Structure 1
């Protein structure tokens, strides 16, 4: 299998890259701006770096050659998401996992929901539009609606909620998100066409 990491210099992207290299024999295409100065290749037989803009259709299609699953580390831009969707549909690559934020469907109740809405602010509309670009596409997508992130080695615990269910949980580790992405890569059919709220158990 070949996995494309879009935004490969992000923290979660780096964790996913490490897990793929250590736990699988999958190949990797690492895509993003100025990557050669931001990441290092550990296994040149399995990793390829392509430096490019997310709106560059030619570069994206080059990166998508032979790819089975893509992961997008940041869905804050509807235009970028639409560009990636177009490149994937044109290239016949059908599966995209995208990192989004909680609250785009007004699914977070109570004081925490009000605080989160205030913190994310008007950017919520962009995250929602990016999610809708995936939901309206022909792709088998997984949207990960992530609560507030932190790092904690070996803490890979997560809970999932479906679209239409109340979001529960105020935080989750990047390590847990990386583990979830690995689970989706291993079981893509089970998760296809879902929008998942991702949080740490017992943090509501």
Structure 2
């Protein structure tokens, strides 16, 4: 295959698509691109010549620089339906890295835009604890600390599962900034394991799904670092 250097311009992407073959190109929309997990995903996708990243954020200044050459930046809010649908055009995979008291409303906006633009594949990061699936003393502690804020996360999960999209929901443990990729997975109906997981590990799983979008379709996955069972995260 001929080597193609992809630069951050529409012309470069047009040339790359012609040389690599359009079937190899993958357009990925990252919502909440200024987030900490998203930063790792963006970096892990940066050297992939067959991926074009669209980085969508309310505050683009929060997106880590330098910007990858295979990316473009769009300033926007997922609750701005016109802006979101414009960003959604031609995307193959949507990765949502969103949060807030209105997360369920944001999720429904994403779902509506994806359906309007005939985009099927969604990766959405939520949180552990939305199903009261965390056992033991850690579960009791987790509920005491974040039970109320998790209610819109649960409503978002319900909307995604009922959407008819090819979704993957991720429910990470408490997040760390450790420079490590080490994780294990639990299903929706399994007790949650561990107390922590690195943002870099969550990003590695997201990147793997973006690389192989057929993986984990219709799954609702807990993700934690093995061997971190305890009554609460070590840093609390």
User: Please, which of 131, 144, 150 is the counterpart of residue 170 of structure 2?
Assistant: 144
Deviation (angstroms), 1:121: 2.5
Choose 1 or 2 for highest CA Rg.
2
1:47 aligns to 2:75 (yes or no)? no
SS class of match (1:5): strand
Alpha-carbon contact 2:37-2:202 (below 8 Å) kept: yes
Give the structure-2-normalised TM-score: 0.82
Give the Å deviation of 1:62: 1.0
> Is 1:61 aligned with 2:85?
yes
Partner of 2:186: 161
Structure 1 residue ranges without an equivalent (≥5): none
Deviation at 1:75, TM superposition (A): 4.8
The answer for unaligned runs of 5 or more in structure 2 is 1-25, 230-236
Matched, 1:199 2:224: yes
3-state SS, counterpart of residue 188 of structure 1: coil
- TM-score normalised by L of structure 1: 0.94
The DSSP-based 3-state class of the residue aligned with 1:202 is coil
Kindly indicate whether residue 222 of structure 2 is the aligned counterpart of residue 184 of structure 1. no
Q: Establish whether residue 120 from structure 1 lines up as the match of residue 154 from structure 2.
A: no
RMSD: 1.3
Q: Which residue of 1 is the match for residue 160 of structure 2?
A: 134
Partner of 1:31: 56
Match for residue 31 of structure 2? 6
Is residue 142–residue 194 contact of structure 1 (8 Å, CA) maintained in 2?
Answer: yes
Cα deviation code 1:148-182 (max 9, x no counterpart):
000112x1010000010110110000010010001
Distance 1:121 1:43, change over 3 A: closer
Q: Which runs of 4 or more aligned residues in structure 1 lie more than 2 Å from their structure 2 counterparts after TM superposition?
A: 22-25, 37-44
- Equivalent residues, number: 201
Once the two structures are TM-superposed, the CA of residue 113 in structure 1 deviates from its matched residue by 0.2
**Retained in 2: the 8 A contact 1:75–1:130?**
no
Higher relative contact order (CA 8 A, sep 6+): 1
Moved more, 184-193 or 159-168: 184-193
Correspondence 1:88 to 2:114:
yes
Asked if the contact 1:131/1:143 (under 8 Å) is kept, the reply is: yes
